[in-house]
Amino acid sequence: MGGELLPPGDGGLDDVVLSWQGADVAAVRLPQLADSLDHILAAMERAKGRPLADLDRREKQEVVRVLEGRGAFSVRHGVETVAGALGVSRFTVYNYLNREKTS
Protein backbone atom coordinates (compact mmCIF):
# COMPACT_ATOMS: atom_id res chain seq x y z
CA MET A 1 0.00 0.00 0.00
CA GLY A 2 2.95 2.31 -0.33
CA GLY A 3 4.26 2.43 3.23
CA GLU A 4 7.84 3.51 3.89
CA LEU A 5 10.24 1.73 6.25
CA LEU A 6 12.35 4.03 8.44
CA PRO A 7 14.96 3.62 11.18
CA PRO A 8 13.12 3.53 14.53
CA GLY A 9 14.54 6.88 15.68
CA ASP A 10 13.24 8.63 12.56
CA GLY A 11 9.60 7.76 13.23
CA GLY A 12 7.21 10.62 13.84
CA LEU A 13 4.02 10.82 15.88
CA ASP A 14 1.90 9.45 13.01
CA ASP A 15 4.27 6.57 12.23
CA VAL A 16 3.97 3.02 13.52
CA VAL A 17 7.01 1.85 15.49
CA LEU A 18 7.68 -1.89 15.36
CA SER A 19 9.28 -3.60 18.34
CA TRP A 20 10.97 -6.97 18.62
CA GLN A 21 11.64 -8.46 22.05
CA GLY A 22 11.26 -5.08 23.71
CA ALA A 23 13.49 -3.09 21.35
CA ASP A 24 12.29 -0.72 18.65
CA VAL A 25 13.57 -2.04 15.32
CA ALA A 26 11.81 0.02 12.65
CA ALA A 27 9.18 2.63 12.01
CA VAL A 28 6.60 2.45 9.22
CA ARG A 29 5.29 5.62 7.65
CA LEU A 30 1.91 4.94 6.15
CA PRO A 31 0.84 6.92 3.10
CA GLN A 32 -2.03 9.35 3.13
CA LEU A 33 -5.34 7.55 2.68
CA ALA A 34 -5.91 9.08 -0.75
CA ASP A 35 -2.56 7.71 -1.94
CA SER A 36 -3.45 4.33 -0.49
CA LEU A 37 -6.64 4.24 -2.54
CA ASP A 38 -4.63 4.72 -5.72
CA HIS A 39 -2.34 1.85 -4.67
CA ILE A 40 -5.32 -0.38 -3.89
CA LEU A 41 -6.94 0.36 -7.25
CA ALA A 42 -3.67 -0.36 -9.08
CA ALA A 43 -3.29 -3.65 -7.20
CA MET A 44 -6.85 -4.64 -8.06
CA GLU A 45 -6.17 -3.91 -11.74
CA ARG A 46 -3.05 -6.08 -11.62
CA ALA A 47 -5.00 -8.89 -9.93
CA LYS A 48 -7.78 -8.70 -12.53
CA GLY A 49 -5.28 -8.53 -15.38
CA ARG A 50 -7.08 -5.67 -17.12
CA PRO A 51 -8.29 -2.13 -16.44
CA LEU A 52 -11.11 -1.96 -13.92
CA ALA A 53 -13.18 -0.02 -16.47
CA ASP A 54 -13.18 -3.17 -18.66
CA LEU A 55 -14.86 -5.32 -15.99
CA ASP A 56 -18.49 -6.35 -16.32
CA ARG A 57 -21.16 -4.96 -13.97
CA ARG A 58 -20.98 -7.87 -11.53
CA GLU A 59 -17.20 -7.58 -11.26
CA LYS A 60 -17.43 -3.82 -10.73
CA GLN A 61 -19.95 -4.39 -7.94
CA GLU A 62 -17.52 -6.84 -6.36
CA VAL A 63 -14.72 -4.25 -6.56
CA VAL A 64 -16.96 -1.68 -4.84
CA ARG A 65 -17.83 -4.21 -2.14
CA VAL A 66 -14.14 -4.92 -1.48
CA LEU A 67 -13.28 -1.22 -1.45
CA GLU A 68 -16.16 -0.49 0.94
CA GLY A 69 -14.74 -3.11 3.30
CA ARG A 70 -11.34 -1.42 3.12
CA GLY A 71 -12.75 2.00 3.95
CA ALA A 72 -12.12 3.50 0.52
CA PHE A 73 -15.23 5.63 0.66
CA SER A 74 -14.24 7.36 3.88
CA VAL A 75 -11.45 9.07 1.92
CA ARG A 76 -12.27 12.50 0.55
CA HIS A 77 -13.22 12.12 -3.12
CA GLY A 78 -13.12 8.33 -2.73
CA VAL A 79 -16.35 7.82 -4.66
CA GLU A 80 -15.12 10.03 -7.50
CA THR A 81 -11.75 8.26 -7.62
CA VAL A 82 -13.36 4.82 -7.72
CA ALA A 83 -15.94 5.93 -10.28
CA GLY A 84 -13.16 7.17 -12.54
CA ALA A 85 -11.21 3.92 -12.22
CA LEU A 86 -14.31 1.85 -12.96
CA GLY A 87 -15.40 4.06 -15.84
CA VAL A 88 -18.83 4.69 -14.28
CA SER A 89 -20.59 7.68 -12.75
CA ARG A 90 -20.60 8.57 -9.06
CA PHE A 91 -24.31 7.79 -9.13
CA THR A 92 -23.52 4.23 -10.24
CA VAL A 93 -21.01 3.76 -7.42
CA TYR A 94 -23.60 5.01 -4.92
CA ASN A 95 -26.11 2.57 -6.41
CA TYR A 96 -23.62 -0.28 -5.95
CA LEU A 97 -23.07 0.80 -2.33
CA ASN A 98 -26.80 1.08 -1.63
CA ARG A 99 -27.41 -2.30 -3.24
CA GLU A 100 -24.99 -3.86 -0.76
CA LYS A 101 -26.76 -2.26 2.19
CA THR A 102 -30.20 -3.43 1.09
CA SER A 103 -29.13 -7.00 0.23
With a CB cutoff of 8 Å and minimum separation 6, the contacts of 3 are 28, 29, 30, 31
Most confident of 8-12, 56-60, 67-71, 76-80: 56-60
Q: Measure the CA–CA gap between 81 and 98, rounded to whole angstroms.
A: 18
Least confident of 23-27, 50-54, 57-61: 23-27
Q: What pTM does this model have?
A: 0.66
Does residue 64 carry a pLDDT above 70? yes
Does residue 50 carry a pLDDT above 70? yes
Higher pLDDT among residues 82 and 12, named by residue? 82
pLDDT at 71: 81
